[in-house]
Amino acid sequence: MLDDANVLKQRDPAGALAVAAAQYAQAEFEVNIWNEDNDQRTILNVVVAGMGGSALAALLVKAWLKADIKVPFEVVRSYDLPSYVSENTLVIVSSYSGNTEETLSALEQAEKKGAQLGIIAAGGVLMDTAASYKVAHVSLPQDLQPRMAVIYNLRALIGLLANFKIVGSEKLDEIKATAGWLKLETEQWAGSVLVDKNYAKQLALLAVGKTPVFYGGTLTAPVAYKWKISWNENAKNISFWNELPEFNHNEFIGWTSHPIEKPFAVFDLVSHLEHSQILKRFEVSDRLLSGQRPKSTVVNLRGETAIKQLLWGSILADFVSIYVAILNGVDPTPVPLIEKLKQELA
């Protein structure tokens, strides 16, 4: 089925595969910061407020630049900011639509506390606010599903962090330098590449009809979270994620009461850049759980640098989950139930 061009076209009418295939180009997105609004105040901590794919970029930054960011850096995925937020906090609010109610709530609180502000959006109330009050902001390209705009979001976030001297601007260059390599890598996952040579299709066939559980380490945890997001929204399937070493202190033992024939598919998202003990934990955990759960499928993230691995793994998540959607007979692009929920809440 996955090698039939007609089936791919019929079951992916909005062209999600084409969008996934073009994600490498987001690494070259030109970040223009409007109303730079840097009054040189001392920044003691950073809070990024966003939901779903908008929060994911911040989680990627935390994993990638944990040795570079010298102030506390928190990601808020709810309505309320931490009580410590003050005029010495940089609060970056991020919502692709610009209308996410949790993010708008965070913006209102940040304004009341006099925090240094940054905004990332493709439109909506956030862009109106940025323009009206001359807040430092980055405008994202429109007409994408937020989960497919993560690299745009990452570029924008790094641009704002550089503007406020939290990281160096060379980090934008590091992301940009991955584009050509990502293009060559992700071309191998295109619909025209047959199953026997297409890693993304092979992983989809391993997982279809099962409930996937994705595991990452300290570095790859946001990639595991991205796989969960993509599975939920593209494949329209439930999925779960966790990270090591925390997994070994609770969830690890939970598998021992689940018969192996239960319909799970376990994926370990592994980077050779992880702490050596985390790499050992992946191997030992799978061995000790033999017969208690399905054997894990190890996805070794490609690339010699952390940013290459994080972006490679994130794009692969979309390809695999889109192929699962096609196998499931569902359109991978729309998320009508989420839109209905927003209408009901409004």
Range scoring the smallest mean pLDDT among 108-112, 286-290, 322-326, 341-345: 341-345
Asked whether the beta carbons of 33 and 92 are under 8 A apart, the reply is no
Is 0.85 surpassed by the pTM of this model? yes
Distances (CA, A) of 297 to 15, 45, 282, 314, 325: 28, 38, 11, 17, 20
Asked whether the beta carbons of 161 and 36 are under 8 A apart, the reply is no
Does 342 map to a domain?
no
Angle at 3 between CA 233 and CA 323, to 5 degrees: 10
Task: Tell me which of 176, 207, 237 is where a domain ends.
Answer: 176
Does 264 map to a domain?
yes
Backbone angles phi, psi at 94, to 5 degrees: -135, 125
User: Are 131 and 159 found together in one domain?
Assistant: yes
Show the tokens assigned to 31.
Answer: 């970040």
Does 323 map to a domain?
yes
Residue 335's pLDDT band (boundaries 50, 70, 90)? Answer: confident
Does 183 map to a domain?
no
Does 227 map to a domain?
yes
Asked whether the beta carbons of 307 and 178 are under 8 A apart, the reply is yes
User: What pLDDT, on a 0 to 100 scale, did the predictor assign at position 341?
Assistant: 87
User: Are 121 and 206 found together in one domain?
Assistant: no
User: Are 37 and 9 found together in one domain?
Assistant: no
Residue 336's pLDDT band (boundaries 50, 70, 90)? Answer: confident
What mean pLDDT is reported for the chain? 95
- Give the tens place of pLDDT for each residue, 72-82: 999 999 999 99
User: Are 238 and 281 found together in one domain?
Assistant: yes
User: Are 195 and 324 found together in one domain?
Assistant: yes
User: Are 135 and 243 found together in one domain?
Assistant: no
Task: Tell me which of 155, 176, 197 is where a domain ends.
Answer: 176
Does 335 map to a domain?
no
Does 141 map to a domain?
yes
Q: What is the CATH number of the domain that holds 37?
A: 3.40.50.10490
- CA dist 122 and 322 (Å) reads 24
User: Are 312 and 217 found together in one domain?
Assistant: yes
User: Are 103 and 204 found together in one domain?
Assistant: no
- Give the tens place of pLDDT for each residue, 166-198: 999 999 999 999 999 999 999 999 999 999 999
- CA dist 235 and 210 (Å) reads 11
User: Are 59 and 38 found together in one domain?
Assistant: yes
Residues of the chain above pLDDT 90, percent: 88
- Give the tens place of pLDDT for each residue, 236-280: 999 999 999 999 999 999 999 866 667 899 999 999 999 999 999
Residues annotated as part of the active site: 233, 249, 342
The whole domain housing 10 covers 5-14+188-328
User: Are 197 and 72 found together in one domain?
Assistant: no
What is the count of structural domains for the chain?
2
Distances (CA, A) of 120 to 85, 137, 149, 289: 19, 6, 12, 43
Q: Where are the alpha helices (DSSP H) in the chain?
A: 5-11, 16-21, 53-64, 101-112, 124-132, 150-163, 170-176, 179-186, 199-207, 221-230, 251-254, 276-288, 306-328, 336-345
Show the tokens assigned to 288.
Answer: 């000790």
Task: Tell me which of 176, 207, 227 is where a domain ends.
Answer: 176
User: Are 166 and 269 found together in one domain?
Assistant: no
Show the tokens assigned to 309.
Answer: 């691995």
User: Are 228 and 307 found together in one domain?
Assistant: yes
The β-bridge partners of 73 are 46
Does 338 map to a domain?
no
User: What pLDDT, on a 0 to 100 scale, did the predictor assign at position 234?
Assistant: 97
